Each structure stands twice: as structure tokens, then as C-alpha cells.
Chains A and B, each alone.
Chain A
Amino acid sequence: MLVIENLHAEVEGEPILRGLNLEVGTGEVHAIMGPNGSGKSTLSYILSGKEDYDITQGSITYKGDNLFDMSIDERAAAGIFLAFQYPIEIPGVAAMTFLKTALNAQRITRGEDELTTPAFMKLVKEKTAALNIRPEMLRRSINVGFSGGEKKRFEILQMALLEPSLCILDETDSGLDIDALQLVAEGVNRLRSPERSMIVITHYQRLLNHIIPDRVHVLSAGKVVRSGGKELAMELEKNGYAEYEDQKINAA
């Protein structure tokens, strides 16, 4: 699904990613953990195509194609989805309108027919019920005045509706209480499938009690410094990131 090789990226001459390697197979769930500032969000933005970063070295191959040849919306239509750490507010645009515009835009890019309004409404109804989202919420402006939990649930709703092949979740657990966390994790687990890969970025181990990863990677100072099975997350929970913070200083 995804192969990242020796990725180096910088912002205004300041290196952030320094030789990152990562391989995610189809149907696999990978967790990426690491101290704040290690480059986790940067990786998610580069995968989805945000233009703030200069790629100075390395390659990313997605479903066999060079990812850097694809625009942001092309990547989205090809199945890359980012659940934002800080979802963006768009005043005056109803969440429902946004969902429909996005879904149909992707369908058109893929050469499929647009969904009719009744078909779309039926689909939304199914997906919202499972995530405990009230229809009133979707009449409000995108993320404006949403609580932390509502924002994250809206991200997962979009993911459920758009049915991506590669889901990237950037600290989806941050700012959630245990009930909200459970709801979101269930939403994510429902989307696990042999055709769909996931990259779950988190600072804490607790999310990984609910979403059990196949692989865990530790990111520090812009590269993967350790990889292992799900037990690596437990170890990090116990020992913290102290030893990896040190590596950052060495790297800098």
C-alpha cells in the first residue's frame, strides 16, 4: 500500500524529517508514537500533500505510484484520508453540504456517478447512527462551535463516508474523555478491513488498547528509531519517551 524510503523534509531550511523509512502493507494497522515535535503531524501532512514542506530526499510510493506526482485532491480521490489533529473550522458551510460535496467530488474524479440526494441521505443516516451523531450537528457550520469530541467524531464520520484505502489518524485520541474515545475507536475498528490500511498516530498508549495495531513505530527527531509489535506501545507507556528525547538532541 505505502512505501516511504529515506524521506527528508524541511521547512524554510529547517530539517524536520531526516531519513524516515516506513512500509505499510494492505490491510495493516500501524501505530506511530513519539515525543511532541518529533515530526508525526509533518509526516501526515506530507502524505496528504500539504505544500508547506520541501522534500529534499527520498520517495513515497502509494499503491505502486509516485505519490509526489499527485495533487492533494487526487490523493484524496485515490483513497488517502487524513483525520486532522486539529480539524479546521469553515464558517457558514453546513457540515452536511461539505460531506456531499466531498463525496461527489471524489466520485467524479474516479469517473463514478454522483450520488443522488436520497441515496446520499440514506448513507449519512446509517453512518451517523453508528457514531452517535445527531442530524442537527450536520446542519451546523463545519467544526464551528463543535466540542472536542464532536470534531473528532465528525472526522471519523467523513472517513466512514468516503471509505478511503489509507486512513491516517493524527492524535485522534487527544482531548477525548474515555466514552468519546471508545466511540471513536469503535468507529475506526468498524472500518478495519483486509483492503484498508491505517496509520494511527498517537502520543499515548491508551488509544492502542482500543485499536490494536499490527506494528508500532517510534518516531524521534524525524525518523523511525524503533519498530515492534503491539507490546512496544506498553513498554513506551511504562518508560516514557526519555531515551528518545536524548536521540533528538544528538540528532540536532
Chain B
Amino acid sequence: MVAVKETVEQVKEIEVDQYKYGFVTDIEMDMAPKGLNEEIIGFISAKKNEPEWMLEWRLDAYRRWLTMTEPNWAKVGYPPIDFQDLYYYAAPKSDKEGPKSLDEVDPELLRTYEKLGIPLQEQAVLAGVQGARIAVDAIFDSVSVVTTFKEELAKEGVIFCPLSEALQDHPDLVRKYLGTVVPISDNYYSALNTAVFSEGSFVYIPPGVRCPMELSTYFRINEAQTGQFERTLIIADKGSYVSYLEGCTAPMRDENQLHAAVVELIALEDAEIKYSTVQNWYPGDAEGKGGIYNFVTKRGDCRGKNSKISWTQVETGSAITWKYPSCILRGDNSIGEFYSIAISNGMQQIDSGTKMIHLGKNTKSRIISKGISAGKSSNTYRGLVSAHRKASNTRNFTQCDSLLIGDKCSAHTIPYIEAKNSSAVFEHEATTSKISDDQLFYCLQRGIGEEEAVALIVNGFCKEVLQQLPMEFAVEAQKLVGISLEGSVG
């Protein structure tokens, strides 16, 4: 396996820390002052030249947020966050006017993306592996830098652009759908996001269109003490299909950085959305210093009949992850899926899982969760499967497998089941295992080194989920599995 080999090489190249993306780009920034108040929100809204209703919506969210308290039910612990000590808006200065093409983008920024391995240059993508064409929207701190393949997508009627641009060009579409899946006061972090989000991606697939390429967003937090609050909205109209990829990185820093995103997916009748994430935010150092707090609300609404939403996530980064990509199965016969690999090492804490809310008849859901804990980390799967009393013939299958490496880490599985309709068939299977000494010995006896052996075995353990990822991401994800477990054995 090429990926496993490369993993070992990459691990060797990393000198100071295992975090491969830990570099800071030196670009002049345009920032709002520290702190959070109505003026800052007004500043962000004005920067984005937003319509009045948008500002009102933000302020409404802010006022509700002030009355809310941070959730404390998750199995994670961290010192209180001082929300006044953060920057809520940061934009690379050279991008003030917004670049129209790659030539206008700060070359330093392009180099950053190059280091991240993003196929930002369309030529590079075209020259790449056959079929490896991906449209990319790259988001740097608060600002979207460039969206590739825009014109080609436009031919199909697909809209893929920064949310701020969609607000200018397609305000009615945005207004119709934004906030309809995750309401303002859904939770503490989503309310905060609504108040201050500064960028995100917008996708609209018209009826009957199968999106001709994978759409992708890369998020990167660069500026110190900056929160990233991006907001993604994807609408698949009747009978359409889209596959969307999200990747994230951040530089190494001593202080913790907050990331509180909201993602809303809407699938209308017969439509399908496949949403994949490879999350590799900086996890902090071995002592638990620094790293990203990843407090994210992701929710999909299978609004139409026979619609389908599928979440696939590979979570390897962040100091703390608090994340439950969910499906509301509203339309009859709709299908929700959740495939997850969550790897925690060092001092990382993960509390992640999904919610499958069965509202429609004959709705089906499937949950495959693979949790891998190493080091002194804590890894919790938390899931809810529920059936409304009017939802007849619903089905769910849940499989939660935990793998422990070493004896200082922990894994927890917390499934909640609420079937209010007696015809519901919900199945739950869970296993916990350790990497066996026999498996390791077998690999070592064949000459495979310890790090590579662990990566190989763990990739095998995760195979069912890795298979769900689009090809390019699967290779990247396999490498990440190895990198994130570096130093976990021996």
C-alpha cells in the first residue's frame, strides 16, 4: 500500500512535532478589534455588504446567545473560553477587493495552499489523476480566497461560491434556506456562529442535475487568537446529486483556537447529498498545550421523499472535538447515513457521533463508527436514534467499534434510542478491542516496522468507512491515520 509507505516517510520528515501543517503564513491581515458586541457584528455584516435582514438575523442570534450557557454534558473538559479575548474577523489584506482569478491572489497564499496539497491550480488538477477534478473553495481565516471551476459548474446551473457572494447574487435562495435546518437558538455554538460567521460555502444543485465534479472546501485558521466561524449551506434540489468534501488544517500555536462552524444540508425529493470531511486541525502538543477547539453543528434535512444524506468523517485533529453530524429524516423513504473514523492521540478529547431523527415513514438510517484511542486521549461515541410516533416502519442499524492502543486512553459508547412507534426496528452492535500483540508480531515478523504496522492494522479496522470516501480523499485519509497515531506504540 503506497499510502502506508508514504505515511512513514512523512512521519520521518516531521521534526519538531508530528503536525505536518503547522506553519504560519506571513500575510498582512485586515482585522476587526478583539471582542464580541453588536458593533463587531455590524462591522462584519458591513464588510460583507450584507442586506438588512441578514444583520437583523445576526443580532437576533447574538441576543439569544447572550442568554444561553455553554453546554457541559459532553465528555470533554477545558478551561472557560473568554469570548471577549478573540478576534471575530480576519482577512488577508491583499484580498480586500476580492480576487477575480488566480493571478490576483497573493502568491504567498497560493504557496500556503500548495504546502497543504490543495489542487488550487486548475491546470494541476486537470493534469492530475484521471477523473480527479475537484472544484475548490478555499477559506483562509474569515475570507474565501478563490473558487475554482466556477464557470464550468455554471453551465450545469450549479452554484458554488462563498456564502457572502451568494448573498449578493442569489439573496432569495439564501434567505429561503439559511437557518432552516439549524435554527438560531439550536445550541450555544450555533447561535454564536449565526451572530459572527464571516464566510462559508454555498452550493445549489438545480433539479435533475448530477453535479459533474466533487465540490470541495478547505478551511484554514492562520491568524493567532482568531476564531473561525464558517457557515456552509448546501441545497440539492429535486432529483439532483452532489458530493462535497471538506478539509481543514491550522498552524501550531500555544493558545487554543476556537472553531465553531455550522453546516446545513437540504435534500429535496429524490435528491442525494454526500458530505465528506477530513478534519486535521492542530491537536495541541503532547502535553495538551494549544490546539483547536472544534465545536461544530452539522445537520442535514432529508426534506423530500426518497432523499438521501450521507455523512462521512475522518476526525484526527483538534484538541477537543464536539460534533454530531445528524440527519432529519423528514421525507418518507428517506435515508440517512453516518460513517465515522475518530482518532484521538496524546491529550485529545473527542465527543462525537450522530443523531438520526426518523420523522417520515419507511425511513432508514445506518451508523458505522470506528473510534481509535491512543496516548492519554478520551474518545466518546454519542448517538441518538429516534422514531416519531407517526413514523412507521423505520429502521436503523448502528455499529460502534472502538480500538484501544496502549492502556492510558479511554473509549466510551453512549447510544440513546427513542422509538415512539412500535414498528421501529433499531439494531445496535458495539465492540471494543485492542490492537493484538499477535497481529503486531505477525506484521513485524514480515519486516514491517512498528509505526507502519499500526497504521496498516488501523486502516484495516477503518476500512468500511474509508471505502465511503471519494478516491483522492481516501488516500489522504489513510496517510492521516498513520500520521495521527505516530508515537502511540513502543
* 20 further interface pairs, Cβ-Cβ under 8 Å (given A76-B445, A77-B447, A97-B4): A48-B445, A49-B445, A72-B444, A81-B445, A87-B442, A88-B439, A90-B442, A90-B456, A92-B462, A92-B463, A97-B456, A98-B443, A100-B1, A101-B5, A101-B448, A101-B452, A102-B447, A109-B447, A117-B2, A158-B446
Closest Cβ of chain B: how far from A45's Cβ, in Å?
A: 8
User: Assuming A101-B1, A104-B5, is B442 touching A73 (CB within 8 A)?
Assistant: no
0/1 per residue, A182-221, Cβ < 8 Å to B? Answer: 0000000000000000000000000000000000000000
- Is B447 in contact with A106, judged by CB distance below 8 angstroms? yes
Q: Answer whether residue B457 sits at the interface, using C-beta atoms and an 8 A cutoff.
A: yes
Answer yes or no: B149 CB below 8 A from chain A CBs: no
As a 0/1 sequence over residues 15 to 38 of chain A, the CB contacts with chain B under 8 angstroms (1 = contact) are 000000000000000000000000
CA distance A48 to B443 in the complex (A): 12
A91 touching B446, Cβ below 8 Å: no
List of B residues within 8 angstroms of A87 by Cβ? 442
Docked complex Cα distance between A242 and B464 (Å): 51
- Which chain B positions have C-beta within 8 A of A90? 439, 442-443, 456-457, 460
Residues on the B chain within 8 Å of A89, using CB: 439
30 sample A-B contacts, Cβ–Cβ < 8 Å, listed by A number: A72-B444, A73-B444, A73-B447, A73-B448, A73-B450, A76-B445, A77-B447, A88-B439, A90-B439, A90-B460, A91-B460, A92-B462, A92-B463, A93-B459, A93-B463, A97-B4, A97-B456, A98-B443, A101-B456, A102-B443, A102-B447, A102-B448, A104-B5, A105-B446, A105-B447, A105-B452, A109-B447, A141-B460, A158-B446, A162-B446
Q: Is A82's CB within 8 Å of the partner chain B?
A: yes
Distance between Cα atoms of A91 and B463 in the complex (Å) = 9
Q: Tell me the residues in window 449-474 of chain B with beta carbons closer than 8 Å to chain A beta carbons.
A: 449-450, 452, 456-457, 459-464
B462 to chain A: which residues have CB within 8 Å? 92
| Residue B438, interface by CB 8 Å | yes
Find out whether the CB atom of B441 lies under 8 angstroms from the CB atom of A102: no
Chain B residues touching A, range: 20 to 34
A84 is an interface residue with CB less than 8 A from chain B: yes
Residues of B within 8 A of A139 (CB): none
With an 8 A cutoff between CB atoms, is A50 at the interface? yes
A76 to B448, CA, bound (A): 9
Q: Please, which residue of chain B has its CB at the minimum distance from the CB of A45?
A: B441
A109 to B452, CA, bound (A): 13
Name the A residues within 8 Å of B447 (CB-CB): 73, 76-77, 102, 105-106, 109, 162
Q: How far is the CA of A106 from the CA of B447 in the complex (A)?
A: 5
In the bound complex, how far is the Cα of B444 from the Cα of A88, in angstroms?
12
* Binary CB contact string for chain A from 61 to 100 against chain B (1 if under 8 A, 0 otherwise): 0000000000111001100011010011111110001101
B residues apposed to A, CB below 8 Å: 1-2, 4-5, 436, 438-439, 441-450, 452, 456-457, 459-464
Contacting residues, chain B, for A141 (C-beta < 8 A) = 460
A245 within 8 A of B: no
- A114 within 8 Å of B (CB atoms): yes
In the complex, which residues of chain B have a beta carbon less than 8 angstroms from the beta carbon of A82? 445
**CA of A102 to CA of B448, assembled, Å:** 5
Distance between Cα atoms of A113 and B452 in the complex (Å) = 18
Shortest beta-carbon distance from B404 to chain A in Å: 16
Given A88-B438, A88-B439, A92-B461, does the pair A98, B5 have CB atoms closer than 8 Å?
A: no
Complex alpha-carbon distance, A98 and B459, angstroms: 12
Nearest Cβ distance between residue A123 and chain B, in whole angstroms? 16
Bound-state CA distance A72–B463 (Å) is 27
CB of B380 to closest CB in A, whole Å: 23
Q: Decide: A114 and B449 in contact? CB cutoff 8 A.
A: no
Closest chain B residue to A52 by CB distance?
B437
Residue of A nearest to B5 (CB): A104
- Contacting residue for A105 out of B436, B448, B457, CB 8 A: B448
**Complex alpha-carbon distance, A101 and B438, angstroms:** 18
Could you tell me the distance between the alpha carbons of A168 and B4 in the complex, rounded to whole angstroms? 28
B17 to chain A, nearest CB (A): 24
CA distance A50 to B444 in the complex (A): 9
A158 to B: closest C-beta gap in Å: 7
Q: How many Å lie between the Cα of A106 and that of B456 in the bound state? A: 15
B474 to chain A, nearest CB (A): 13
Distance in angstroms from A162 CB to nearest chain B CB is: 7
Knowing A73-B447, A105-B448 are in contact, say whether A91-B461 is a contact too (CB < 8 A): yes
Q: Which residue of B lies closest to A82 (CB)?
A: B445
List, in ascending order, chain B residues with CB within 8 A of A93's CB.
456-457, 459-460, 463
Closest 7 CB pairs of A and B: A92-B460, A92-B463, A76-B447, A93-B460, A106-B447, A102-B446, A72-B444
CB <8 Å contact, A98 and B441 = no
**In the complex, chain A residues whose CB is within 8 Å of the CB of B448:** 73, 101-102, 105
Distance of A27 from chain B, by nearest CB (Å): 22
> What residues on A are CB-neighbors of B2 within 8 Å?
117
Q: Would you call B442 and A88 a contact (CB within 8 A)? A: yes
Q: Least Cβ distance of A81 to chain B in Å?
A: 8
B463 neighbours in A (Cβ, 8 Å): 91-93
Which residues from chain B contact A81 at a C-beta distance below 8 Å? 445
Q: Check A76/B460 contact, CB under 8 A, given A90-B439, A105-B452.
A: no
A71: min CB distance to chain B, Å: 8
Q: Judging by beta carbons under 8 Å apart, are B446 and A98 in contact? A: yes
Rounded to whole Å, the gap between the CB of A98 and the closest CB of chain B is 7
Give chain A residues whose Cβ lies under 8 Å from the Cβ of B464.
92
A101 to B451: give the CA distance in the assembly, Å: 12
Query: Smallest distance from the beta carbon of A142 to chain B beta carbons, Å?
Result: 8
A76-B446 in contact (CB<8A): yes
Question: How far is A102 from B463 in the complex, measured between Cα atoms in Å?
Answer: 19
Q: How far is the CB of B447 from chain A (nearest CB, A)?
A: 4
Nearest opposing residue in chain B for A76, CB measure = B447
B9 to chain A: closest residue by CB: A108
Known contacts A76-B446, A109-B447, A158-B446; is-contact A101 B4 (Cβ 8 Å) = yes
Residues in B neighbouring A162, C-beta threshold 8 A: 446-447
- A49, B443: Cα distance in complex, Å: 12
Distance from A233 Cβ to chain B, minimum over Cβ atoms (Å): 27
- A97 & B1 in contact (Cβ 8 Å cutoff): yes
A169 smallest CB distance to B (angstroms): 13
**B128 → chain A closest CB, angstroms:** 18
